[in-house]
Chains A and B, each alone.
Chain A
């Protein structure tokens, strides 16, 4: 069956890109709820993670170490970014903060041009190029890696936010910043942790997608925006809904690409965004699930 195999293939590529968006979207939800910041540099963490990892792999490090080290490095960069750019301007207006994150994104992009140049780089797939046949559809093993890793990190995040002290403190800030402060949790400290964690998540997302789509200095812009759309469509105050939104956007995009034309991909995601914003400004799933991270 030609049609079903194409359908399955599109579902899988949708889930793959969706899982990438999900990782970044969670970062958005955490940052947005703690700092009220729309961080337009979010996608650039993915770019930095992917390119750093490629460099370490090319230096001869084993893949797993390269991934771990680059996630740590980008997490530190995220923390620095929060302390140097966001923290000093935390009382400024929305437009000012927005542009500060854009300025930071420029810096990240410029530095990566300086280090890695403008040509896209490739990372070898985690486990060979042998495609898997599944119900007549061919699936790249990297897709399974992407979906698997993001599900695993979602599970780790769930544990972090619900079972650890720091995670609970961040969650408290997300739920009610003012009440959290009354309980002795410093939102400023939490803002630092939130930006660092979401930078690390972004880096992981970038590394996972790099073998499929390559990595270049300008890959962050659209990935970041799509993840934000996913977060908004799902509902910004709600991480599970944001993940659902991410998979929805991923599948929508892969179907647009498969059946229509890749030129309309961005426009269709943004049209969905506008429709959701106009008619359900709290997100598609706002009534379904409660307010928690």
Chain B
């Protein structure tokens, strides 16, 4: 319990700032290495989605298996507004976010009456329905052939066409997203969400409008996903419906759960682990089993997933933060803790 309190009231900026500086310095080291930059950019897109999803899953305690739909709504709206209608990028992003929030509001009202597996299945069904829209509404989305020729993002007169430029853009969005989420979590809303997660009946009894909060967070997470989708569309310049199918939603959920629900950095950590693990396995596994074809490395991914979740059901971020705390406390507080231990010992003797 006291663990949860420190999580709410940890307003220290030291750790996040160090991390921010490291992230912002990385591209200068790997300036010529587009592979590393693009890997980090992908982590950025996923982090933005999973941060919103962490709010929903970890703080409001609601599962969504349909977030690829909002990711796709952002991507297709941006594509349509910039490529087909020739409008500036920010309009595409804004309209995408508005559409995503409206759709999430409409779907959220009935969906959040459901619980547990029914909720998971309903959001999954919603994702499949939106996927069918992307696939069949050919005049706007281009159907299964995909949507070509999305222009690179340009904001405030700056065009983000290289990986180097885009890196800074996406990571600034990620950090803004995380800080916004952190402020929500550390506010009245955050405490209300935690109480909903703890017990819906109890929080309703103390006067928290649980449906309102669940819905607000669902809409917010949809907006996060939609913005990430818009940026993604501008980055890859070509999108097709398969990018936003059911499996993508499942991957988002996987990232959130491996990262650790209940920690605002969990989404980022999960996204990073997911991407690095994927790249690593793609690299290593063919060397061990050279004569197999297809993406059979998902075996190892699946095994790791099961093992991580059996042994760390609270996700990796919890283990990481625990580790950091132990290291920092062993640096700083060693004399204090030794002293306090001694004093309690003497108390007993007395």
Residues of B within 8 A of A179 (CB): none
Given A104-B302, A110-B297: A264 and B309 within 8 A (CB)?
A: no
Is there contact, CB below 8 Å, between B132 and A92? Answer: no
Flag if A118 contacts B114 (CB, 8 Å). no
- The reply to whether A38 and B120 form a contact with Cβ atoms under 8 Å apart is yes
Given contacts A93-B313, A113-B294, is CB(A278)–CB(B128) below 8 Å? no
A214 interfacial contact with B, CB 8 Å: no
- Is the CB of A114 closer than 8 A to any CB of chain B? yes
| Contact (A110, B302) CB under 8 Å given A92-B313, A263-B136, A267-B129 | yes
- Knowing A114-B292, A263-B136, the reply to whether A104 touches B306 (Cβ < 8 A) is yes
The segment from B94-102, B200-208, B217-225, B249-257 that touches chain A is: B249-257
Chain B window 46-76, contacts with chain A (Cβ cutoff 8 Å), 1 for yes, 0 for no: 0000000000010000010000000000000
Query: Is B290 an interface position by the 8 A CB rule?
Result: no
Any chain B CB within 8 A of the CB of A232?
yes
Contact A94 B116 (CB under 8 A): yes
Q: Which residue of B lies closest to A228 (CB)?
A: B121
Known interface pairs A103-B302, A264-B136. Does A94 touch B254 (Cβ–Cβ under 8 Å)? no
In whole Å, how far is B241's beta carbon from the nearest beta carbon of chain A?
Answer: 10
| Contact between B117 and A107, CB atoms less than 8 A apart | no
A72 within 8 A of B: no
A111 at interface (Cβ–Cβ under 8 A)? yes
Residue B10 lies at the interface, judged by CB distance under 8 Å to chain A: no
Instruction: Count residues on chain A whose CB falls below 8 Å from chain B CBs.
Output: 47
Check A281–B114 contact: CB distance below 8 A.
yes
Q: Does B118 contact A (CB under 8 A)?
A: yes
B63 to chain A: which residues have CB within 8 Å? 94-95, 98
Contacts of A36 in B (CB 8 A): 117
Indicate if A85 sits at the interface (CB-CB under 8 A): yes
Q: Pick the contact of B122 from A38, A92, A225, A273 — CB < 8 Å? A: A273
Chain B residues within an 8 Å CB radius of A96: 257, 309, 313
CA distance A281 to B121 in the complex (A): 12
Of B121, B122, B295, B310, which is within 8 A of A88 by CB?
Answer: B310
User: Complex Cα distance A102/B274, Å?
Assistant: 15
The yes or no answer to A277 lying at the interface (CB within 8 A) is yes
Contact A271 B309 (CB under 8 A): no
Cβ distance B47 to chain A, nearest Cβ, rounded Å = 18
| Known pairs A100-B305, A103-B302, A104-B302; A270 contacts B292 (CB<8 A) | no
Judge whether A99 is part of the interface by a CB distance below 8 angstroms.
Answer: yes
A106 at the interface (CB under 8 A from B): yes
CB-CB < 8 A to B298: which residues of A? 106-107, 109-110, 113
In the complex, what residue of chain B is closest to A231 when comparing beta carbons? B121
Residue B321 interfacial (CB < 8 Å)? no
Residues of chain B within 8 A (CB-CB) of A38 are 117, 120-121
Complex CA–CA separation, A109 to B250 (angstroms): 15
Cβ < 8 Å to B, chain A residues 63-115: 84-85, 88-89, 92-96, 98-100, 102-111, 113-114
Known pairs A110-B300, A271-B129; A99 contacts B305 (CB<8 A)? yes
Given A93-B313, A281-B118, also A106-B294 (CB < 8 A): no
Is the CB of B335 closer than 8 A to any CB of chain A? Answer: no
> B132 and A264: CB pair below 8 A?
yes
Closest CB in chain A relative to B250 CB, distance in Å: 6
Measured between beta carbons, the chain B residues less than 8 angstroms from A132 are none
**If A38-B121, A232-B118 touch, does A102 touch B305 (CB 8 Å cutoff)?**
yes
Give CA–CA (A263, B141) in the complex, Å: 15
- Chain B neighbourhood of A110, CB < 8 A: 295-302
Write the chain B residue with the least CB distance to A266.
Answer: B128
Q: Of B118, B254, B293, B297, which is within 8 A of A117 by CB?
A: B293
Taking a contact as CB atoms closer than 8 A, the residue among A105, A118, A271 that contacts B302 in the complex is A105
Query: What is the minimal beta-carbon distance from A163 to any residue of chain B, in angstroms?
Result: 31
User: Whole-angstrom distance from the CB of A82 to the nearest CB of chain B?
Assistant: 12
Do residues B136 and A225 form an inter-chain contact, with CB atoms below 8 A? no
Mark contacts of A29-45 with chain B using CB atoms, 8 A cut-off: 1 yes-contact digit, 0 otherwise: 00010001010000000
Determine the distance from Cα of A36 to Cα of B120 in the docked complex, in whole angstroms: 13
Task: Identify which of A89, A92, A270, A278 contacts B129 (C-beta below 8 A).
Answer: A270
Docked pose: A159 CA to B282 CA in angstroms = 49
Closest chain-A Cβ to B331's Cβ sits at a distance in Å of 33
Smallest Cβ-Cβ distance to B301: which chain A residue: A106
Q: Tell me, yes or no, whether B16 is within 8 Å of chain A by CB.
A: no
Residues of chain A within 8 A of B128, CB atoms compared = 266-267, 270
Mask, A217-244, CB within 8 Å of B = 1, is 1000100010011001000000000000
14 examples of A-B residue contacts, CB within 8 angstroms: A85-B310, A89-B313, A94-B120, A98-B63, A98-B117, A99-B257, A99-B305, A107-B298, A110-B299, A113-B293, A113-B298, A114-B289, A118-B294, A221-B246
Q: Which residues of A are interface residues toward B (Cβ below 8 A)?
A: 32, 36, 38, 84-85, 88-89, 92-96, 98-100, 102-111, 113-114, 117-118, 217, 221, 225, 228-229, 232, 261, 263-264, 266-267, 270-271, 273-274, 277-278, 281
Given contacts A32-B117, A264-B136, 19 further A-B contacts (CB under 8 A): A38-B121, A84-B306, A92-B313, A95-B257, A107-B306, A109-B298, A110-B297, A110-B298, A113-B293, A221-B247, A225-B124, A263-B135, A267-B132, A271-B125, A274-B122, A274-B125, A274-B129, A278-B110, A281-B114
Q: Which residues of B contact A (CB under 8 A)?
A: 57, 63, 110-111, 113-114, 116-118, 120-122, 124-126, 128-129, 131-133, 135-136, 246-247, 250, 253-254, 256-257, 261, 289, 292-306, 309-310, 313
